[in-house]
Amino acid sequence: MKKNQFLGVLAILMLLSSSACSKKKADTAADDDKVIKFASCNLKAYEDSTKVLAEEVGKLGFKLDYIFLADNTQLNEAVERGEYFANYHQHTPYMNEFNREHKAHLAAAFKVFTDRSGLYTAKGYKTLNDLPDGATIVIPADAGNNFRAFTILIDDGLLKLKDGTSEEGASQADIIYNPKNLKFIEVDYTMLSRTLEDADAGFLYATVAYDSGIDPSKILAAEPERFQAADIIAVREENLNSEKTAILKKAFYTDAVKKSLRDSFVGIEVLIPEW
């Protein structure tokens, strides 16, 4: 083969190779546009509903690429860094606190369900008034959930906070009235059920109570309805109005996902769906 012919063939091969690479990159980009990376809590109800959600997302022409994590901070950091598109584990007060502390940009895309909280006991007390003076109560260490525990005691007249204390910034330093001299032990949210045996009472969400072998109906005192915060799907702010967010909401708000939430608790109404 002459030199000019060889160079001509080589140029054609390079052009074909370049076209193939470009097509491969375009196909990969198109595939990525149909994949929603989703980080979920590893509790049973979240896992069960995420698996059904993946099926519903598939029916809409997308793929849900999901992972289960136990750590709330990791779940939020994964979305904040862009490693995952959305997460499923928290309510808005918790998310807002995370945003403040980490200068993050998460936003509530839509509500999923209300996981009712309350104070539980392993000591056989029937009401909050049965708690002895100096009783120990285990509460979450984060301010967003901290306040939820306080509201239960406030409504029963066992606690008062300073005027103007915000829902997302309450702490023990804000307590101005505590006639029973209740002692509060702050622990990581994931440790609440494990420490209940060592305290007179403790704050739990209904899902955590159930997963810990506690009947959610055996509640010492329930959180006031006006303070209940629904669990949300969180995304970065710039993704609030994206197609993937719309797909997630449409897939979530189906009878199949609602049924999975109920089936996770063998038919007991532990969670209240938002649709």
What does the domain layout of the chain look like in residue ranges? 30-115+229-273, 117-226
Cα angle value 234/237/242 (rounded, 5°)? 85
Instruction: Give the class (CATH, top level) of 117-226.
Output: alpha beta
pLDDT in tens, the chain (275 residues): 555 555 555 555 555 555 555 544 444 445 689 999 999 999 889 999 999 999 999 999 999 999 999 999 999 999 999 999 999 999 998 999 999 999 999 999 999 999 989 999 999 999 999 999 999 999 998 877 788 899 999 999 999 999 988 766 788 999 999 999 999 999 987 789 899 999 999 999 898 888 888 888 889 999 988 888 899 999 999 999 999 999 999 999 999 999 999 999 988 889 999 99
**251-273 core/surface letters (b: 16 or more CB in 10 A; e: else):** bbbbeebbebbbebbeeeebbeb
Same fold, 30-115+229-273 and 117-226: yes
CATH class name, domain 30-115+229-273: alpha beta
